[in-house]
Structure 1
Amino acid sequence: MELGMVGLGRMGANMAERLVRGGHKVAGFDPSADARKAAEANGIAPASSLEALVKSLPAPRVVWLMVPAGKVTDDTVDALLPLLARGDTVIDGGNSNYKDTLRRAQLYAAHGLGYVDCGTSGGVWGLKEGYSMMIGGDEKTVESLRPIFETLAPAKDQGWGRVGPVGSGHYTKMVHNGIEYGMMQAYAEGFAILKHKEEFGLDLHQVGEIWRYGSVVRSWLLDLATDALGKNPNMDGIAPYVVDSGEGRWTVNAALELNVSAPVITLSLMERFRSRDSDSFADKLLASLRNEFGGHAIKKE
């Protein structure tokens, strides 16, 4: 099967390379000439523009987007619209907000174009291990794309599936990432408690290795955490600043809209916010209040 890939950053390039290895013809476009050159070395036919990319594809065309959520996706979707013809399909494999996906799909449907949302997990390991894909879209359209998904997945019958109509793929991936926030936070807190029990002199990498086999808390995230602790036991050179790319916020918002209690995911998001406050006014006020009502000492800067 032949398709175009828009966005040749690390994940997009890796996905395109896996498709090429699986026997698909892939043309790719990225604004970066360096990214296009690197992709070409891995068997991806580079295109100098979106127009050139679309022209290089046989009808009905399939264009896979791996670009940042928000304005970049909107700009790309808008730019592709006049270049495509009825029967063509765009797959958004990024982490778009499902509400934006519904809006874009409606626009494309009005022009006779297919729009499929594919929540994609696997990160930098996907090239080797395969990608987990949660797909939303018209059933017939998704089925026509089966060869692509089967190639990208860990196995033809594992790790992927159509979860519902358009929007449902990104919605499912949103919740997936919210769960990921909670799991990551729990591992981080647990290892921090172990590290602070200094009299035991615990080897955190050793503990992680023990937990990886047979334990009820074993997981791929634990594998990654254990690997990181083996390389850098004290996390030297790493700032205690944790970013969020939006999915956690969207998950919490969805929980509020649906009146679903989600304290773990919510608190894990709040902890990420807290990590960025190097000069916490709230903590200063707390210290001041303790001094006001109880005369407790205040630690000066």
Structure 2
Amino acid sequence: MDIAMIGLGRMGANMAERLHRGGHRVIGVDPGEAARNAAAARGFEVSASLADALAKLPVPRVVWLMVPAGEVVDQTLAALAPHLSEGDVVIDGGNSYYKDSVRRSAQLLQDDITYLDCGTSGGVWGLQEGYSLMIGGDKATVERIGDIFRTLAPAADRGWSHVGPSGAGHYCKMIHNGIEYGMMQAYAEGFALMQRKAEFNLDLAEVARTWQHGSVVRSWLLDLSVEALEKNPQLDGIAPYVPDSGEGRWTVAEAIDLDVSAPVITLSLLERLRSREGNSYSDRMLSALRNQFGGHQMKTD
């Protein structure tokens, strides 16, 4: 099957290479010359032009977007619009907000173009391990182009599924990432406790390796923890600053909208925000209040 991969960042290029290895013809499109050159060295075609790439593909075409969520997706769709034809399929494999995906699907359907939202998990390991794919949109279209998903997934019969109508794929990925926030926070807190217990002089990498076998907390995140701790046991040189991509925020907002209690995910998001306060005003205010009502000593700079 022929596919245009729009966006040749690390994940987009890896997905394009996995599709190429699986026997698909892939034309990668990216405005950056360095990204195109790096992708070309991996064996598949590249182009700087959306029009040029789509002109080379037989109709109906499959166009896979791997671009940042938000306005960039809408800009890319606007640039694609003059070159799309009835029956084409556009797949958004990024982390778009699910309500945006519902809107975009309805817009493209007016021109008989199918829009699929595909929540994609696997990160930098997907090239070797395969990707977990949560697909929303028209089920018949998913079945028609299913060989693409079977190639990207860990195996043809697992790791991918049509999860529901438009928006459902990105909704499931949003919740997936919210769960990931909570799991990562729990691991981080547990390792912090063990690191602080100085009298035991724990080898945290060894503890993590022990947990990898037979433990109920074993997971891929734990495997990645082992790798990180083996390379850098004290995490030297890593700033205590944790960004968020937005999906945790969307998950918390969804929990509020649906009246669903989600304290672990919510608190894990707040902890990420807290990590960015190098000189926390709230902590300084707490210290001042303790001094005011109880005369407790305050540390000063």
Decide: shared fold, TM above 0.5: yes
Aligned residue number for residue 256 of structure 2? 256
Residues 37-92 of structure 1: CA deviation (Å, up to 9, x unaligned): 11111121111211111111111010000000011111001111121011001000
Query: RMSD of aligned C-alpha atoms?
Result: 0.6
Structure 1: which 4+ aligned runs deviate by more than 4 Å?
none
Aligned residue number for residue 278 of structure 1? 278
Unaligned stretches of 5+ residues in structure 2: none
1:164 aligns with 2:164: yes
Unaligned stretches of 5+ residues in structure 1: none
1:222 aligns with 2:228: no
What amino acid sits opposite 1:37 in the alignment?
N
**Which secondary structure state, in structure 2, belongs to the residue aligned with residue 183 of structure 1?**
helix
**Which secondary structure state, in structure 2, belongs to the residue aligned with residue 134 of structure 1?**
strand
Offset of residue 197 of structure 1: 0.4
Question: Between Structure 1 and Structure 2, how many residues are aligned?
Answer: 301
Offset of residue 226 of structure 1: 1.1
Aligned residue number for residue 239 of structure 2? 239
Offset of residue 26 of structure 1: 0.2
What amino acid sits opposite 1:11 in the alignment?
M
What amino acid sits opposite 1:94 in the alignment?
G
Aligned residue number for residue 132 of structure 2? 132
What amino acid sits opposite 1:30 in the alignment?
D
Map 1:131-150 to 2 at 5 A.
131-150=131-150
**Which secondary structure state, in structure 1, belongs to the residue aligned with residue 205 of structure 2?**
helix
CA distance in 2, matches of 1:259, 1:293: 37
Aligned residue number for residue 9 of structure 1? 9
1:151 aligns with 2:127: no
Aligned residue number for residue 203 of structure 2? 203
Query: TM-score, length-normalised on structure 1?
Result: 0.99
Query: TM-score, length-normalised on structure 2?
Result: 0.99
CA distance in 2, matches of 1:96, 1:237: 32
What amino acid sits opposite 2:172 in the alignment?
T
Aligned residue number for residue 20 of structure 2? 20
Residues 244-264 of structure 1: CA deviation (Å, up to 9, x unaligned): 000000000111000000000
CA distance in 1, matches of 2:27, 2:79: 17
**Which secondary structure state, in structure 2, belongs to the residue aligned with residue 236 of structure 1?**
coil
CA distance in 1, matches of 2:145, 2:299: 62
CA distance in 2, matches of 1:267, 1:74: 32
CA distance in 1, matches of 2:176, 2:48: 35
Deviates more, 1:52-61 or 1:149-158: 52-61
Aligned residue number for residue 188 of structure 1? 188
Aligned residue number for residue 44 of structure 2? 44
